[in-house]
Structure formats: structure tokens, C-alpha cells
Amino acid sequence: MKDTRWLSESEMDAWMAYVAATHLLERRVEEQLKATSGLTHAQYEILAKLSASPDRRMRMTELAREIVVSKSGLTYQIGQLEKRGLVERTTCPSDDRGVLAVLTDQGVRCLKQTAPGHVAVVRAFLIDRLTPEEIETMRRVMTKALAAMESAPGPVFRSAASACSPRDPSLPEG
């Protein structure tokens, strides 16, 4: 722990503001989506990614990478969207093992109905609060952070379960 580069006061303030703002913005987005369409944010992102894809379809593995979710998590969300008729699964014509998620016409209608409210929340609580220069700075900062995370090798930290085990002798008792 002596090698730990702790956050300075200003770094901690920035980090805590980021964490609080992202959690609250996510909550606002979820509330809006649930109220207007019954979708979760993850489900909305799936519909949006599919709508922007050629022929409104993507391989499930690629879609999971794009929306940053596990394959099992995506399978669950796609199942929920299928029940509502917004998405369907089909086999990949060039690879029988591949599965495609396809946005249905009903999914397109749902997305068109939901998108204006979603954009209004993002604008009201983030975009319209920033100057064009701040938006450009945010884009650069988040792009830099994203690139660092995408290029990092797999997990590099020991699991939280072992680090916080009550049997860990380096932790104080009580």
C-alpha cells in the first residue's frame, strides 16, 4: 500500500463529481426510458446500435462488444426484446454457428417513439449544460479513457473477494 498513488484533493473532487453525475444521469435516463417505453437503458442501446447497422442487424458477439455487456447479459436482454417483438434472432447466412440480432419494424417504431425523450434527458442534464469547448474536452477525455481501457489486458487486480476477506491478516479487525 505504500506504493499507492493516492488521489490529490482536486483529483478526488473530480472523481467523486464524475461518479455522482454519471450515476444520477444514468438514473434519469432509466426513469425516462421506463416511463415512455418500458425499456431499460441497455435495451435502448441495443435498439439504437441495431438501427444504425446495415440491414438493422448485427452478430450477437459484435453487439455485445459494442454495448459493453457480457454475452450472457446480451442474450438475456435480446430475449426480453424478442418477447416484445422489437428484435428477433436469426442464423448468420455466412456462418451457421453465428447468430444475428435483427431490429424488427416494431422495434424501429419503438425507437422512433422513445428517442426524442431520451435525447431530451441527455440534453437537459448534460449536453445543454456545457459549452461547445467543454463538450470537445469531454469527448477528448472520454475517448482517451476509453482507449486506455480497451487496450488494457484482462483483469490485473486480485478479486475483491480475496482482497476483502475477513481472514485477510493485513486488514484491521472489527
Domain ranges of the chain: 11-133
Contacting residues for 14 by C-beta, under 8 A, at least 6 apart: none
List Cβ neighbours of 121 (8 Å cut-off, separation of 6 or more).
28, 29, 32
Query: CA 169, CA 143: separation in Å to the nearest integer?
Result: 40
- Report the phi/psi class of residue 95: left, alpha or beta, with left for phi > 0 and alpha for psi in -120 to 50: beta
pLDDT tens digits, 67-78: 988 889 999 999
CATH topology of domain 11-133: Arc Repressor Mutant, subunit A (1.10.10)
Average pLDDT, the chain: 89
The mean pLDDT value for 139-163 works out to 77
Share of the chain above pLDDT 70, in %: 88
Whether residue 33 contacts residue 40, with contact meaning beta carbons closer than 8 Å, is answered with yes
Triad 61, 117, 124: Cα angle to 5° = 105
pTM score, two decimals?
0.83
Per-residue pLDDT, 165: 52
pLDDT for residue 109 is more than 60? yes
Question: Can you give the pLDDT at residue 155?
Answer: 66
